[in-house]
Amino acid sequence: MRARRVRSRPRGEPEDSPWTSHVLYLRPKTAPEGLRPRRGKLQDEMVPDVGSPRPSRRVLVLCTGNSCRSQMAEAWLNRLAGGDVDAFSAGSRPAGYVHPLAVRVMAEAGIDISGHRTKPISEFLGRAFDYVVTVCDDAAESCPVFTGQGLRVHWGFEDPAQAEGDEIHRLQVFRRVRDGLRERIEALLAEMGA
Given the residues 85, 136, 161, 188, select the one marked as catalytic. 136
Given the residues 77, 105, 113, 143, select the one marked as catalytic. 143
Given the residues 59, 62, 63, 98, select the one marked as catalytic. 63
SS3 track for 134-193: ECCHHHHHHCCCCCCCCEEEECCCCCHHHCCCCHHHHHHHHHHHHHHHHHHHHHHHHHHC
- C-beta of residue 99 within 8 angstroms of C-beta of residue 30: no
Answer yes or no: 136 catalytic: yes
- C-beta of residue 92 within 8 angstroms of C-beta of residue 64: yes
- C-beta of residue 81 within 8 angstroms of C-beta of residue 194: yes
**Cβ contacts of 169-177, under 8 Å, gap ≥ 24:** 170/101, 171/101, 171/104, 171/105, 174/68, 174/99, 174/101, 174/102, 174/104, 174/105, 175/105, 175/108, 177/68, 177/69, 177/72
CA-wise closest residue to 105 among 135, 132, 67: 67
Answer yes or no: 68 catalytic: no
Q: Known catalytic residues? A: 63, 136, 143
